[in-house]
Structure 1
Amino acid sequence: MRAPQRIAVVGAGLAAVSACDTLRAHGYDGDLVLYSAEQGLPYDRPPLSKDVLLGKDRREDVLLRPEQWYDDQRVRLREGTVVRAIRPQSGGVELAGGAVETADRIVLATGGTPRALPVPGGDDPEIRLLRTWEDSLRLRERLLPGARVAVVGAGLIGAETAAVAAALGCRVTLVDPVRVPLAAAVGDDIATVLHDRHRAEGIDVITAGVEHVERRGGRFVLGLSGYGAAVAVDTIVVGIGIRPATQLAQAAGLRVDDGVLVDINRRTSHPAVYAIGDVARGVGRRTRHEHWEAAQRDGEAAGRGILGLPGTDAGAPWFWSDRYGTRLEAIGTMADAERTVLRGTVESGAFLTFGMRDERVVAAAAIDRTRDIKVVRRIVDRGIAVAPAELADESTDLRSLLKR
């Protein structure tokens, strides 16, 4: 294929900005257009459930790049511009108003949309979801001292939102059908400590599914499965995952299966179209990686792929979550491990769990052990064989294992 004259990036999250950055850093000199459905400069999303919700961060505090960067990198940011369709065969993108703009390569960075509660009443427009800047601001208005708030879903977003609501003085109920959320990702020990912390902070934790939602006397009432009483609250926040925004890809005839299917260079089933971030799923990968670093690396991979540069090994996925003044960090997923090894004590509140398979570490998770997790990540990526006893022994310098 000939070198692209114009590249259209649809979406304006971290993956999209990372792709633009990579293209320019590796010498791309053509026209580069970034289509954003939202108004304003692109911003980072992790703070939305943390310091933005707390009222600490302003919009300018969470920008992915300052305004000058777009001029310096010659990235044409099209704010408030919705792409209605992509036309890879003819080389163009169709905008909401009907105009068609040319594009030799198209990068889909459309992300995902929060899942609504799939129960009667779950589509009430006053139920809060959290994905955008405006979502965070609207929710913040509800989190007043003494307000009764139900958070449905105790994964990363739900847990962080519940922690913020409690810090703001709300009376919080956290609902999830799983007894120990996140155990498959970070292991039972760490997941249990994290989930128990909600109760220690005064949150009412209920293990149940939501059967229906209704309004009574100005409040929401949640009917829960296997739970004797209904729960009445002022506000409901739902954090049960996202659906990849694959509509443009499907309409264009691209291969889609729980995300737009891509190769190592993030190229889709059409050679002129790439997909990155939450909307993309690598062929052979069981799940999409909906994490900050995965989005950044996807953008880098697509930028290199468009320019015909060799791909790079991203290594094991890494993610983090902050709540109650502590930090969770995880590498890989514990679902890939045959057994786990503990380093430190659960009682200390700051410990590390290794997931092992065939004498190699394939995953790890830690609470407040940032220095250790950085070393362990290199051990995982290098596939270094390690004895479980060495990992468990706090006197063993993990850095020494890298010399093997």
Structure 2
Amino acid sequence: MTGPVVDGTVVDGTVVTGSVVTGPVVIVGGGIAGVSTAAALRKGGFDGDITLVDAGEFPYDRPPLSKDFLSGAKDIKQIALQPAHWYDDQRVRLVTGISVAALRPAEGTVELVGGRRLPADRVVLATGGAAARPPVPGIDSSRVHVLRTAEDADRLRPALAPGARLLVVGAGLIGAEVASTAVRLGCEVTLVDPVAAPLTAVLGPELAVWLHELHARNRVTTAQSAVESFTDRHGGIEARFTGVPGPQLYDAVVLGVGMVPHTDLAREAGLEVDRGIVVDPSQVTSNPAVLAVGDPARTRQDGVLLPRTEHWEAAQHDGARAAATLLGAAPPEPTAPWFWTDRHGHHVEAVGHLHEATETVLRGSLDDPAFSLFGLRDGFVIAAAAVDDPSAVRAARRMIDRRVPADPARLADPGVSLRALLRG
């Protein structure tokens, strides 16, 4: 559909619900979720006022922060989500360098720091989150860094000098990417995580182990442990680990242990909050005038609160759903969740949830990237992950979404084309 429809219209067998917005929309937060909401509103035919409020200089993409931006290969303008003229072309008023102080949905306004108020018939919260800082003694040291914003990366970059001793705590996506960037810059990197093979739930044990062992093959020291404390010393910072005798000295520490969603605005406005801003499947909060998208949004479906999803594409899809809700349009068709990561010169993609598979099929060899791993259940592909083989994941995604029957022997044979696999 290209425009709004009347509430109650049947589209492809689905009854479309929702109040069509005609007044001004204010989007709070300029990450991928917020910018995607604005883009989808215009694409869907919304002709009203859109204001995007962001505390930064302009909206930028966050995945490069741990890679090209951190290494200095790209500057802040090169990771902008949209060129400056896009906002003018799309008639999106960009209000930057200031934060929102309060939501006032009963008054139809959003209050900025300093008291200025913006008219808002509907508000979309795309507030993101902050890097988690667990309650470890000494964690407030200036040598302990996080990486969530461009400012965080700017503070960390000088510490990544050749020969610097860097401790990375947490071997998930951010931690692994920072370790990869830092060792490429010449740092002596130690990567610590209490889990033997991080990302097993989404990549499966076989690929998760392969990826974690990739660190050691690229001069990163890995350890399965947890940090007990940090202590500033002359010339560095000491870290103590569980099960390890004596402290270890580093020049800097990076925490990659998750994020905490920004929910203060929602809570102070009286919205339901439960480890995230609670929304229905249409991204609507407990106040119908306010929607939430991206990292802080937590969906309640059929009475059950689902885990938050913190991946780039998921935030993009949230924006599209929120726009459809505001337009009274049919929501986008659901698709299997997908994410990617880059480390040590390898590109990794995954779709679906491999831990839910009852059978896995390896296509290619772990000793010779590129390779892919398919997860099957009841004769269908339900997940896949690949190293340096994005075409396999694209094919798997189509097989998942279309429910194409899968033959394990053909999946495992690199001589069978992906196009042939899509035909079942």
1:309-324 equivalences in 2 (<5 Å): 309-324=329-344
Q: TM-score, normalised by structure 1?
A: 0.96
Match of 1:265 in 2: 282
1:230-309 equivalences in 2 (<5 Å): 230-284=247-301, 286-309=306-329
1:128-176 superposed Cα distances (whole Å, 9 cap, x missing partner): 1101111111111110001100000100110000011000001111011
Q: How many residues align?
A: 403
| Helix, strand or coil at the partner of 2:384 | strand
- Say if 1:342 and 1:354, in contact at 8 Å, map to a contact too: yes
| Helix, strand or coil at the partner of 1:255 | coil
- Say if 1:264 and 1:311, in contact at 8 Å, map to a contact too: no
Q: Superposition RMSD on alpha carbons, in Å?
A: 1.5
| Helix, strand or coil at the partner of 2:144 | coil
Give, in whole Å, the separation in 1 of the partners of 2:361 and 2:423: 21
Match of 1:36 in 2: 54
Shift in Å, 1:207: 0.7
- Say if 2:54 and 2:98, in contact at 8 Å, map to a contact too: yes
| Paired residue type of 1:385 | P
Choose 119-128 or 149-158, whichever is displaced more. 119-128
| Paired residue type of 1:323 | R
| Helix, strand or coil at the partner of 1:226 | coil
Match of 2:208 in 1: 191
Residue 47 of structure 2 corresponds to residue 9 of structure 1: no
| Helix, strand or coil at the partner of 1:322 | strand
Match of 1:103 in 2: 120
Residue 419 of structure 2 corresponds to residue 392 of structure 1: no
Fraction of identical pairs, as percent: 47
Give, in whole Å, the separation in 1 of the partners of 2:417 and 2:116: 61
1:197-236 equivalences in 2 (<5 Å): 197-236=214-253
Shift in Å, 1:122: 1.6
Shift in Å, 1:384: 2.0
Given candidates 333, 339, 349, the residue that maps to 2:353 is 333
Give, in whole Å, the separation in 2 of the partners of 1:223 and 1:85: 41
| Paired residue type of 1:326 | H
1:38-53 equivalences in 2 (<5 Å): 38=56, 40-53=57-70
Give, in whole Å, the separation in 1 of the partners of 2:419 and 2:55: 46
Match of 1:343 in 2: 363
Structure 1 gap ranges (5+)? none
1:53-93 superposed Cα distances (whole Å, 9 cap, x missing partner): 11110112111111111111111111112111112222221
Give, in whole Å, the separation in 1 of the partners of 2:331 and 2:240: 50
| Paired residue type of 2:102 | A
Shift in Å, 1:255: 2.1
1:368-393 superposed Cα distances (whole Å, 9 cap, x missing partner): 11111111110011122213222222
Shift in Å, 1:307: 0.8
Match of 1:144 in 2: 161
Give, in whole Å, the separation in 2 of the partners of 1:117 and 1:147: 24
- Say if 2:404 and 2:423, in contact at 8 Å, map to a contact too: no
Give, in whole Å, the separation in 2 of the partners of 1:52 and 1:115: 21
Given candidates 93, 105, 108, the residue that maps to 1:76 is 93
1:284-326 superposed Cα distances (whole Å, 9 cap, x missing partner): 4632221111111111111121011110123011110111111
1:244-264 superposed Cα distances (whole Å, 9 cap, x missing partner): 111111222222222212223
- Say if 1:70 and 1:77, in contact at 8 Å, map to a contact too: yes
Structure 2 gap ranges (5+)? 1-18
Match of 1:21 in 2: 39
Give, in whole Å, the separation in 2 of the partners of 1:41 and 1:309: 29
| Helix, strand or coil at the partner of 2:52 | strand
1:333-380 superposed Cα distances (whole Å, 9 cap, x missing partner): 222222322221111132111122222221111101111111111001
Shift in Å, 1:14: 1.0
| Paired residue type of 1:319 | F
Shift in Å, 1:181: 0.8
- Say if 2:20 and 2:326, in contact at 8 Å, map to a contact too: no
Give, in whole Å, the separation in 2 of the partners of 1:17 and 1:229: 48
| Helix, strand or coil at the partner of 1:9 | strand
Match of 1:171 in 2: 188
Shift in Å, 1:189: 1.5
Give, in whole Å, the separation in 2 of the partners of 1:90 and 1:336: 46
| Paired residue type of 2:51 | V
Choose 318-327 or 351-360, whichever is displaced more. 351-360
Given candidates 382, 399, 415, the residue that maps to 1:362 is 382
